[in-house]
Amino acid sequence: MQLRYNYRLYPTPGQQIALARAFGCARVVFNDGLRARREAREQDLPYISDAELSRQVITLAKATPERAWLGEVSAVVLQQALADLNTAYRNFFASVSGKRKGRALAPPRYRSRKDNRQAIRFTKNSRFKVLDNGRLRLPKIGELQVRWSRPLPSAPSSVTVVRDAAGRYFASFVVTTQQDETLPPVDSEVGIDLGLTHFAVLSDGTKVTAPRFLRRAARKLKRLQRALSRKQKGSNRRRKAVVKVARAHARVADTRRDWQHKLSTAIIRENQAVYVEDLCVAGLGRTRLAKSVHDAGWAAFTAMLEYKAARYGRTFGRVDRFLPSTRMCSACGGTNEKMALSVRAWDCPCGAAHDRDVNAALNVLAAGRAESRNDRGARVRPPAMAAPRDEAVTHPDAARTPRSVEGISALQSGEDVKTSRTACTR
For 402, which DSSP code? S
289-292 contact pairs (CB < 8 A, 24+): 289/196, 291/214, 292/196, 292/212, 292/215
Strand 273-277 to 315-319 pairing: parallel
The answer to whether residues 346 and 356 touch, using CB atoms and an 8 Å cutoff, is yes
What gap in Å lies between CA 325 and CA 356, rounded to an integer? 9
Q: Where are the beta strands (DSSP E) in 86-168?
A: 118-123, 129-130, 136-138, 142-147, 158-163
Number of helices (H) and strands (E) in the chain: give both, helices first.
Answer: 12, 14
**Cα 225-250-11 angle, rounded to 5 deg:** 115
What gap in Å lies between CA 416 and CA 367, rounded to an integer? 35
The answer to whether residues 173 and 156 touch, using CB atoms and an 8 Å cutoff, is yes
Please list the alpha-helical segments (H only) found in 43-158.
50-54, 60-62, 75-97
What residues are labeled active site? 193, 277, 357
What gap in Å lies between CA 192 and CA 309, rounded to an integer? 14
User: Which of 171, 87, 157 has its CA nearest to residue 125?
Assistant: 157
What gap in Å lies between CA 399 and CA 395, rounded to an integer? 9
